[in-house]
């Protein structure tokens, strides 16, 4: 289908983009990678009358470590994660995540910030950012504000972003020594959205005990889910087989899947159990220096 007609704006600065959002009102939509917005417009699931394309604003395409954080700018593409030296050497969980999204054509256009801003529970980066305890920077008429990712996803395709705000940066705390993470997803076929996905990021104390665990779940609730009870259970525990098994069962219990074309709720809960155990094992290997 062909999208309904719309008015197109191409601001050259963030201030200009924010002024446009204010002037045009909540029906105006930011366009970054266009890999979710344009398909929705073509299917007429969305028909925004105004599109504000931020791709021509300089200075937003970066991935760099600075002042304790890995910073991912609004125009960093999903595929940029796969070739960033900082990411490939220190954040294998981000490479796991991006490499199971769609295909290279989509990843070359789609932005990591857009993946979060869309608020889709089936998107993969939200669970990973929940596990990593990232924070997000939004710019609006009142200036810049920082929010924890934990309070960002407020419902199905809903986020804490205000209609006149732009998500400009993701901040991931640089992992402390003996940290490791992994993202695992089951998809029906290559390029599909997750039937379920699990992101795990742990920090060990060096003696096999878990200091902190972050766990995010994909597509098993109406919004991306942080498995808080499982995280609390793991903190301070020796990560042996029995603890991993109990954690995996807890995570399955925290998931809230529904029956749909990708499987029954029971099947997806069991998938969360299996993927959590596998992701924990891989995260432990990586925390111990494995690839």
Ligand X SMILES: Cc1cc2nc3c(=O)[nH]c(=O)nc-3n(C[C@H](O)[C@H](O)[C@H](O)COP(=O)(O)OP(=O)(O)OC[C@H]3O[C@@H](n4cnc5c(N)ncnc54)[C@H](O)[C@@H]3O)c2cc1C
Q: Is 188 helix (H, G, I), strand (E, B) or coil?
A: coil
Quote the least distance from Cβ 115 to ligand X, whole Å. 4
Q: Which is nearer to ligand X, 34 or 173 (CB)?
A: 34
Q: Which is nearer to ligand X, 77 or 269 (CB)?
A: 77
In the complex, which residues of this chain contact ligand X (CB under 6 A)? 29-37, 39, 74, 78, 101-102, 106, 110-111, 113-115, 117-118, 123-125, 161, 166-167, 191, 193
Q: Which is nearer to ligand X, 111 or 179 (CB)?
A: 111
Quote the least distance from Cβ 206 to ligand X, whole Å. 34
Q: What angle do CA 49, 151, 119 make, to 5 degrees?
A: 35
Nearest residue relative to ligand X (C-beta): 114
Quote the least distance from Cβ 167 to ligand X, whole Å. 4
Quote the least distance from Cβ 84 to ligand X, whole Å. 17
- Could you tell me what percentage of the chain is helix, strand and coil, using 3-state DSSP and rounding each to the nearest 5? 35, 30, 35
Give the whole-angstrom CA distance, residue 267 versus residue 196: 10
Cβ-count burial 173-201 (b if 16+ within 10 Å, e if not): eebeebbbbbbbbbbeeeeebbbbbbbbb
Q: Which is nearer to ligand X, 69 or 157 (CB)?
A: 157
Q: Is 32 helix (H, G, I), strand (E, B) or coil?
A: coil
């Amino acid at each position: 289908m062909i999208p309904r007609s719309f008015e197109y704006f191409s601001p050259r600065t963030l201030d200009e983009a924010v002024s446009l959002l204010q002037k045009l009102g909540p029906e105006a939509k930011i366009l970054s990678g266009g890999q979710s917005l344009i398909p929705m417009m073509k299917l007429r699931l969305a028909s925004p009358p105004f599109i504000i394309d931020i791709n021509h604003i300089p200075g937003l395409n970066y991935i760099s470590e600075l002042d304790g954080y890995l910073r991912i700018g609004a125009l960093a593409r999903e595929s940029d994660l796969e070739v960033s030296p900082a990411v490939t050497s220190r954040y294998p969980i981000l490479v796991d995540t991006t490499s199971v999204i769609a295909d290279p054509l989509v990843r070359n256009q789609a932005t990591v910030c857009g993946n979060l801003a869309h608020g889709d529970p089936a998107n993969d980066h939200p669970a990973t950012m929940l596990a990593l305890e990232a924070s997000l920077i939004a710019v609006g008429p009142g200036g810049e504000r920082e929010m924890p990712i934990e309070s960002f996803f407020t419902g199905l395709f809903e986020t804490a972003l205000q209609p006149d705000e732009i998500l400009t940066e993701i901040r991931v705390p640089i992992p402390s020594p003996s940290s490791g993470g992994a993202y695992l997803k089951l998809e029906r076929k290559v390029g599909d959205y997750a039937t379920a996905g699990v992101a795990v990021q742990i920090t060990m104390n060096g003696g096999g005990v878990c200091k902190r665990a972050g766990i995010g779940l994909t597509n098993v609730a109406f919004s991306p889910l942080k498995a808080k009870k499982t995280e609390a259970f793991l903190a301070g525990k020796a990560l042996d087989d029995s603890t991993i098994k109990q954690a995996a069962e807890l995570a399955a219990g925290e998931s809230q899947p529904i029956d749909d074309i990708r499987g029954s709720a029971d099947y997806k809960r069991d998938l969360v159990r299996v993927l959590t155990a596998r992701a924990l094992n891989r995260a432990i290997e990586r925390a111990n220096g494995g690839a």
